[in-house]
């Protein structure tokens, strides 16, 4: 019995020992684990990625501050880690120069971390936020889109066609003119140049739930950088990615909104005798590039001949106006032939635009007006305050000089879009006027901004000179 018991006890002791050792190992493991856990909590772990992607980061120091920019380098980003790293470098350099420009000596820890979003099973957006250890607030920092089918970066030239870029540019400029913190800079030449419809100006964006989020890095537009959103649905087929968007509804007229500041000086450029299938188009390109519009006094027979060009004038945000049907001296006409010359172009534009656009202004050929014309006309008769003589000199420099020497707030400038030399003049004239602080507006916009209501038969030389 005793022997048996002894053995039992011994066996128990061995069992105890094993149990004790197990407990000890467990406790040690817990202590070790806890230490590692605590170590992470206590250590300056701020410069870690939220998702623990510690290894894939660009790190550096600027004076007393530290920077970390994380980027995808994992299985899901296989094939485009080079792009991811390049994009991280751009952000890294931006953070470096921002910290370098700070005047006060600070010791910040700044990190740019990201999340990803897959749109329509094909487009992976890498979306960055910047955070520092003092404010702990996340600031959006843009990102980029990878086409997972081709493993390439999506940019403005692959995502939008020309009409899409023009729409984006116009919407962006209009939005900035209506934003309190941007409305001063939005009228300046550097801002206007940086927001023109070049694909490079709209290449930094992400795509999430049908919304494009554009980022504009710190620079001429804004010291802090800028974010702006546009729904993909506004672009329809002008958005070239296969992101599940529907085509735009069939509509010949689609005009982006324009904002005119009544407190800033303005000039109305006016173009007579067109439309012209190349010269008018080139003038429109210059106007759109510089966030500008003009009034085109068209001949009806040319509206019939060039309906596409006429629609381009309207859709660009410029104004379609009438310059008679075939340019006769109205003072030599009466009755039906006078009425025809006064009204036909309006009918043509109304039919062309499915009655969505009408004509409000008439310019008599040669500026010739008599009492009968004034009494017959349903429109105010728009004259001019600056005659550039572009049709006569055919000298672009002369046309520019004639305008700049006389221009002032409220000027109405007479030009002709049927001459190639006038296109050349416009290329110089438009940026020069903007640099002098002028908005380039339509005659209709100018009258509205100046609070002037025009009546039929009035002779209008400027908002301040109406007879």
Residues forming the site for Zn ion (CB under 5 A): 272-273, 365
Tell me whether residue 132 is one of the annotated catalytic residues: no
Using CA of residue 39, residue 44, residue 48, residue 54, what is the dihedral sign? negative
The secondary structure of residue 246, as a DSSP letter, is P
Give the nearest distance from C-beta 346 to Zn ion in angstroms. 17
CA distance 162 to 153: 19
Name which of 238, 391, 113, 162 is nearest 399 in CA terms.
391
C-alpha to C-alpha distances, 231 to 96, 154, 155, 259, nearest whole angstrom: 32, 17, 17, 20
CA distance 107 to 143: 26
Q: In terms of CB distance, is 108 or 418 closer to Zn ion?
A: 418
Residue 255 main-chain phi, psi, to 5 deg: -115, 125
Is 442 within 8 Å of 287 (Cβ atoms)? Answer: no
Helical residues (DSSP H) of 187-257, grouped into ranges: 189-194
Judged on CB neighbours under 10 Å (0-12, 13-18, 19+), 377 is buried
Is 67 within 8 Å of 110 (Cβ atoms)? Answer: yes
Q: Which residues contact 393 (CB under 8 A, 6 or more apart)?
A: 399
Query: What angle do the packed helices 279-289 and 420-435 form, to 10 degrees?
Result: 10
Give the nearest distance from C-beta 324 to Zn ion in angstroms. 8
Give the nearest distance from C-beta 416 to Zn ion in angstroms. 7
Judged on CB neighbours under 10 Å (0-12, 13-18, 19+), 398 is middle
Pairing state of beta strands 439-440 and 266-272? parallel
Q: In terms of CB distance, is 291 or 417 closer to Zn ion?
A: 417
Give the nearest distance from C-beta 432 to Zn ion in angstroms. 25
Give the nearest distance from C-beta 295 to Zn ion in angstroms. 13
Residue 147 main-chain phi, psi, to 5 deg: -80, 110
Nearest to Zn ion by Cβ — which residue?
272
User: Hey, what are 364's tokens?
Assistant: 């008599």
- Find the angle CA(294)-CA(253)-CA(247) to the nearest 5 degrees: 130
238, 276, 323, 416: the catalytic one is: 416
Judged on CB neighbours under 10 Å (0-12, 13-18, 19+), 428 is middle
Name which of 28, 73, 81 is nearest 53 in CA terms.
73
Is 272 within 8 Å of 417 (Cβ atoms)? Answer: yes
CA distance 384 to 460: 7
Tell me whether residue 117 is one of the annotated catalytic residues: no
Is 439 within 8 Å of 294 (Cβ atoms)? Answer: no
113, 132, 272, 273: the catalytic one is: 272
Q: In terms of CB distance, is 273 or 424 closer to Zn ion?
A: 273
User: Hey, what are 340's tokens?
Assistant: 């025809």
Q: In terms of CB distance, is 49 or 299 closer to Zn ion?
A: 299
Residues labelled catalytic: 272, 416
């Amino acid at each position: 019995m005793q022997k048996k018991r002894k053995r039992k006890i011994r066996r128990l002791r061995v069992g105890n020992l094993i149990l004790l050792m197990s407990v000890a190992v467990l406790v040690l493991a817990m202590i070790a684990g806890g230490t590692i856990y605590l170590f992470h909590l206590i250590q300056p772990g701020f410069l870690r990625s939220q998702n623990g992607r510690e290894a894939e980061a660009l790190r550096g120091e600027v004076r007393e501050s530290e920077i970390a920019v994380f980027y995808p380098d994992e299985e899901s980003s296989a094939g485009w880690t080079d792009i991811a790293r390049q994009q991280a470098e751009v952000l890294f350099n931006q953070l470096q120069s921002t910290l370098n420009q700070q005047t006060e000596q600070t010791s910040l820890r700044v990190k740019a971390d990201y999340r990803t979003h897959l749109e329509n099973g094909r487009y992976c957006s890498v979306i960055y936020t910047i955070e520092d250890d003092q404010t702990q607030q996340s600031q959006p920092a843009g990102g980029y889109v990878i086409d997972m089918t081709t493993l390439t970066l999506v940019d403005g030239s692959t995502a939008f066609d020309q009409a899409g870029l023009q729409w984006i540019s116009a919407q962006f400029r209009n939005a900035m003119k209506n934003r309190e913190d941007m409305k001063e800079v939005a009228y300046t030449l550097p801002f206007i140049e940086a927001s023109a419809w070049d694909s490079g100006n709209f290449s930094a964006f992400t795509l999430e739930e049908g919304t494009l989020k554009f980022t504009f890095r710190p620079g001429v537009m804004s010291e802090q950088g800028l974010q702006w959103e546009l729904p993909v649905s506004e672009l329809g087929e002008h958005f070239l990615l296969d992101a599940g968007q529907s085509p735009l509804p069939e509509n010949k007229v689609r005009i982006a909104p324009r904002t005119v500041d009544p407190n800033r000086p303005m000039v109305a450029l006016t173009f007579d005798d067109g439309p012209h299938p190349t010269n008018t188009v080139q003038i429109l390109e210059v106007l759109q590039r510089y966030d500008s519009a003009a009034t085109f006094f068209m001949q009806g027979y040319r509206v019939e001949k060039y309906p596409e060009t006429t629609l381009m004038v309207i859709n660009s945000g410029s104004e379609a106006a009438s310059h008679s049907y075939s340019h006769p001296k109205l003072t030599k006409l009466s009755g039906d032939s006078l009425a025809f010359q006064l009204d036909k172009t309006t009918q043509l534009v109304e039919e062309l635009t499915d009655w969505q656009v009408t004509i409000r202004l008439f310019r008599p050929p040669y500026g010739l007006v008599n009492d009968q014309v004034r009494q017959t006309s349903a429109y105010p008769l728009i004259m001019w305050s600056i005659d550039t003589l572009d049709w006569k000199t055919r000298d672009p420099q002369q046309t520019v000089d004639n305008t700049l020497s006389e221009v002032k707030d409220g000027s109405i400038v007479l030009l002709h879009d049927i001459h190639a030399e006038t296109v050349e003049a416009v290329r110089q004239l438009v940026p020069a006027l903007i640099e002098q602080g002028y908005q380039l507006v339509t005659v209709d916009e100018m009258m509205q901004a100046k609070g002037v209501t025009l009546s039929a038969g009035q002779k209008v030389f400027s908002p301040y000179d109406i007879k």
